Structure 1
Amino acid sequence: MQKKNIFILIGILFYTINIKACTIFSCSRGGETFVAANEDDTTPFTRIWYNPASSNRYASVCFGAPDMQVAAAMNEYGLFFDFAAANYDFTQLNLTNPYPGDIMWEILGTCKTVKEAIVILKKYDYISYSQALIADKYGNSVLVSPKGITEKNGDFQVNSNCNMINGKLSCRRPEIANEMLSGSKENSVEFLKKILDKTHQEGELNTLYSTIFDLKKGIIYVYLFHDYNIVYIIDLKSELKKGYRIENLADHFPASFAYENFSKNHSLYLKESIFQEMKNKGIDRTIDHYISESEKLSPKNEKLNSALLEAALQLIKYSWNEHNNGSMWYYWFSKPYGYDVQQYKDRKLTSAEKLLKYLSSKETTDLKLQNFMYEMIGFINLTQGDKILAKEFYEKAVTNPDKAYSVTLIRGKEILNRMKDIKK
């Protein structure tokens, strides 16, 4: 029972890291089927990644933060999902049968319709502080939460996350969307764009990007940082033919002072700058340059080392995503699938290891952070097939439990248990 409770807790965390205040709605009328969304968050640097079909998964496009968690996605058959944060008291819900991975990712890869998705959803409990909207090109949509499944009643459905306070919604976003959809029979990109504009947010929590998905045609209209005058159009069928890749959403838009100013004030800005340099000058040359900079004594040294650690982790996330059909880094969230480490060679992992070995070799009083880096080096070697060296670093990471993060202990002990027959 204790293990099951831990698994449920991890499942809750898994779905809430990057789910903020969003407004999402489906609309099917006049022979057209659309889904539109404002993605509201505090972390810019949105990624888009394209996943070609595999032997057991449909092709898809995903939108998400740099950690490669999927915020919204559509597959080649026009099945879509997106999340809005919500508050649930799990002590009042009898949730005992969570899906052993990412249930929405399973739906994206194996289902063509909402009806097929419901079959999977009814087999498991949906464990998440979020409410998901799932829609298909036939005009069907449902809201999915830990409390159950709500099918669309009428020709539109709104998914938003304003809380109820004294019986009233704490914000107007869902009301505005409902009023505009119910007050018109229109269903077009221009009309839906007006709703997105009316419900977007500015301030500490911003509408980072907005999307309108034409589920029948496989066309996606994308707007950056609540600017609805400039659109980036994605033809999913055409883009999937180009193969797997990860892109920065902002690269598809002209320079914007508002977006750039917001991004520069974010803690991940330096790491993102390092990645831009990798793109322009190559990974090895960039890493050598910044290691050299780190060796210099200067006030920016500590900040740079933190950014280099984030860069190493980003390289691992990219590598996992590419070699695991576009999925997020399950190992990071202690998901069962994450421990089934597929072995492959990847320059990104070699580069990440170089950064981690450099950073972990520096004198530090933060032994928990150092042991975390040992864990990451162990993971890289395990992935690249050197199980003996991997075991050595995992043992270093967990030898002193008082000087290790709890997640390092959980993951490290699980991996060592699976490697117990490996001898040096």
Structure 2
Amino acid sequence: MQKHFILILISLLTTGIHTVKACTIFSCSRGGQTFAAANEDDTTPFTRIWYNPATKDRYGSVCFGAPDMQVAAAMNEYGLFYDFAAANYDLSKLNLKNPYKGDLMWEILGKCKNVKEAMVILKKYDFAISAKALLADKEGNSIVITPEGIIEKTGDFQVNSNCNVINGKLSCRRPEIANEMLASSQENNIDFLKAILDKTHQEGELNTLYSSIYDLKKGTINVYLFHDYNTVYTINLKAELKKGYRIENLADHFPSSFAYESFSKNHSLYLKESILQEMKDKGTETTIAHYITESEKQAPKNKNLNSALLEVALQLIKYSWNEQSNGGMWDYWFSKPEGYNVKQYKDPRLTSADNLLKYLSAKENTDLKLKNFMYEMSGFVNLAQGNTSAAKEFYEKSIYNPEETYKVTLSRGTEMLCRLDEGKWK
């Protein structure tokens, strides 16, 4: 199973956050209109949208991101928007004295109405992410936030982008094109911004997965899938938030496209996504039982099935945690300090994930490091559901043999056992 589980191994070894490969993002405020727009460029399809109604502690918002449920781009009910572009900052060489213990931009999205309010938080905490974030509000203000400091907008537009290296070659005129088009015109409307997105979209090893134009004053978003700028899905945030919290697949809002379907079906996560869709159609437990039966055959139809089932288990945990944290990412997965403060709650998705983890970890031919990783995940799931004694047993098993344990599992498992021994959860 481990040979076909490259994506999880990469996540385990890097535990990085906000790793969108290359994007073109800009804000523009002129003629009484205020917009933000972005091309989201990456190698992984299956983009999610999730809606987070307001709570007593947070403003309502909509988020876009990959299946790992990290926020790639978001807008809140007051028209505050942000989006990330990857960057190559060496954080170890920067004098970051007070990094935020969780997701700093997520905190800003939930607590701030505009850039001015966000600056209060940004002056208190360091932006400790190897990325650049453009933050814009409906009043026409925008800034680009980096680990080295904040870049304020000087005119009526601001561009945040990067140049990606593919096979050792630097090839990128996207920021220049966006700047040239914005500087040479006084237009500021959907068609003009869409033309910029079209001119700066990518195809090939990296693809523009989706493009978005945010009307920050009206609270609406025009979304285009897989660089098809003739088909639009429009979101009215106020209306959508009234429908309650939910996670959706972005592609479900668009008609079938041969180009997107071909791209998706050739991706390593396609089997996992197919199983998740079957869970929606036929029920979670029925689907899990079917695929466990298939897995137990000497020659299952798909040799990557067990890897996909592990990915499904992790996705169920991410979905569950996202909902109980009002849309936030699973900080524990990314080894963020706040992630070790595990809240306890009941959710059938966690039970389903635990059943899959127990089945997969019991298989005799499972790689020891991967088995210990699954023990760690079972420890987390049991702790989240209040099964403290079982959680401790799984965490102990996960780090019993350090030489056969991923570094990240060893680190997280050791930290969680210390907290369990201290009686953090009784």
- TM-score band w.r.t. shorter chain: over 0.9
Matches within 5 A, 1:57-76: 57-76=58-77
Once the two structures are superposed, residues 130-162 of structure 1 have per-residue CA deviations (whole angstroms, 9 ceiling, x without a partner) of 111000000000011112111111110001102
Q: Is residue 368 from structure 1 mapped to residue 369 from structure 2 by the alignment?
A: yes
Q: Which amino acid aligns with 2:62?
A: V
Match of 1:351 in 2: 352
Contact 2:91–2:130 (Cα < 8 Å) also in 1: no
Match of 1:414 in 2: 415
Matches within 5 A, 1:331-350: 331-350=332-351
Residue 92 of structure 1: how far off its partner (Å): 4.5
Match of 1:279 in 2: 280
Q: Between the two proteins, what is the percent identity of the paired residues?
A: 74
Q: Is residue 124 from structure 1 mapped to residue 125 from structure 2 by the alignment?
A: yes
Match of 1:380 in 2: 381
Q: Which amino acid aligns with 1:398?
A: I
Residue 97 of structure 1: how far off its partner (Å): 2.0
CA distance in 1 between partners of 2:313 and 2:185 (Å): 50
Residue 257 of structure 1: how far off its partner (Å): 0.4
CA distance in 2 between partners of 1:142 and 1:406 (Å): 37
Contact 2:51–2:240 (Cα < 8 Å) also in 1: yes
Match of 1:7 in 2: none
Match of 2:220 in 1: 219
Match of 1:269 in 2: 270
Once the two structures are superposed, residues 27-77 of structure 1 have per-residue CA deviations (whole angstroms, 9 ceiling, x without a partner) of 001111000000000000000000111111111000000000000000011
Q: Is residue 289 from structure 1 mapped to residue 290 from structure 2 by the alignment?
A: yes
Alpha carbons of 1:170 and 1:205: their partners in 2 closer, same or farther (altered >3 Å)? closer
Alpha carbons of 1:385 and 1:275: their partners in 2 closer, same or farther (altered >3 Å)? same
Match of 2:101 in 1: 100
Contact 1:218–1:235 (Cα < 8 Å) also in 2: yes
Contact 1:210–1:224 (Cα < 8 Å) also in 2: yes
CA RMSD of aligned residues (A): 1.8
Q: Is residue 320 from structure 1 mapped to residue 321 from structure 2 by the alignment?
A: yes
Match of 1:403 in 2: 404
Alpha carbons of 1:14 and 1:110: their partners in 2 closer, same or farther (altered >3 Å)? farther
Runs of 4+, deviation exceeding 6 Å: none
Q: Secondary structure at the match of 1:121?
A: helix
Gaps of at least 5 residues in structure 2 are: 1-11
Q: Which amino acid aligns with 1:98?
A: P
CA distance in 2 between partners of 1:348 and 1:161 (Å): 38
Q: Secondary structure at the match of 2:72?
A: strand
Contact 2:91–2:129 (Cα < 8 Å) also in 1: no
Contact 1:135–1:141 (Cα < 8 Å) also in 2: yes
CA distance in 1 between partners of 2:59 and 2:331 (Å): 19
CA distance in 1 between partners of 2:110 and 2:154 (Å): 26
Contact 1:15–1:130 (Cα < 8 Å) also in 2: no
Contact 1:19–1:85 (Cα < 8 Å) also in 2: yes
CA distance in 1 between partners of 2:311 and 2:40 (Å): 23
Once the two structures are superposed, residues 334-378 of structure 1 have per-residue CA deviations (whole angstroms, 9 ceiling, x without a partner) of 112111111111110111111111101110251111111111111
CA distance in 1 between partners of 2:399 and 2:91 (Å): 32
CA distance in 1 between partners of 2:42 and 2:89 (Å): 20
Match of 2:9 in 1: none
Matches within 5 A, 1:143-162: 143-162=144-163
- From 5, 15, 18, the equivalent of 2:17 is 15
CA distance in 2 between partners of 1:380 and 1:293 (Å): 25
Q: Secondary structure at the match of 1:131?
A: strand
Contact 1:141–1:157 (Cα < 8 Å) also in 2: yes
Match of 1:6 in 2: none
Q: Which amino acid aligns with 1:95?
A: L
Residue 217 of structure 1: how far off its partner (Å): 0.5
Residue 388 of structure 1: how far off its partner (Å): 0.9
Q: Which amino acid aligns with 2:257?
A: S
Q: Which amino acid aligns with 1:284?
A: E
Q: Is residue 29 from structure 1 mapped to residue 16 from structure 2 by the alignment?
A: no
CA distance in 2 between partners of 1:36 and 1:380 (Å): 38
Q: Secondary structure at the match of 1:122?
A: helix
Q: Which amino acid aligns with 1:341?
A: V
Q: How many residue pairs align between the two structures?
A: 409
Alpha carbons of 1:264 and 1:336: their partners in 2 closer, same or farther (altered >3 Å)? same
Q: Is residue 86 from structure 1 mapped to residue 92 from structure 2 by the alignment?
A: no
Residue 88 of structure 1: how far off its partner (Å): 2.4
CA distance in 2 between partners of 1:420 and 1:33 (Å): 53
Gaps of at least 5 residues in structure 1 are: 1-9
Q: Which amino acid aligns with 2:259?
A: A
Q: Secondary structure at the match of 2:38?
A: strand
Q: Is residue 141 from structure 1 mapped to residue 152 from structure 2 by the alignment?
A: no
CA distance in 2 between partners of 1:371 and 1:61 (Å): 36
Q: Which amino acid aligns with 1:151?
A: E
Q: Report the TM-score, using the length of structure 2 for normalisation.
A: 0.93
Match of 1:207 in 2: 208
CA distance in 2 between partners of 1:350 and 1:299 (Å): 25
Contact 1:13–1:128 (Cα < 8 Å) also in 2: no
Q: Which amino acid aligns with 1:400?
A: N
Q: Is residue 175 from structure 1 mapped to residue 161 from structure 2 by the alignment?
A: no
CA distance in 2 between partners of 1:231 and 1:273 (Å): 25
Residue 15 of structure 1: how far off its partner (Å): 3.1
Residue 170 of structure 1: how far off its partner (Å): 4.5
Return 365-374 or 251-260, whichever deviates more: 365-374
